[in-house]
Amino acid sequence: MAKKTVAGYRDPSSKDGRNYAKVIKMVRSPKTGAYTFKEEMVPNEAVKDYFAK
């Protein structure tokens, strides 16, 4: 059985987890030069700021 990703990130004051987005960023390792994927849950308002870093 699958579990929703946003289930653990819900704010108790709001009844839904739709205020968050799962973002995946490709990050290059300084040690090996290989690319890895970094996944995080961020609020919808902070998505553009997350990718601007």
Is pLDDT of 12 > 60?
Answer: no
Cα separations (Å) of 50 from 2, 6, 14, 16, 31?
27, 18, 23, 22, 23
pTM above 0.85, yes or no: no
Contact 34, 28 (CB under 8 A): yes
pLDDT for the residue 3? 44
* Per-residue model confidence as pLDDT tens digits over 27-52: 999 999 999 999 998 888 988 898 88
Here the tokens at position 2 are 């699958």
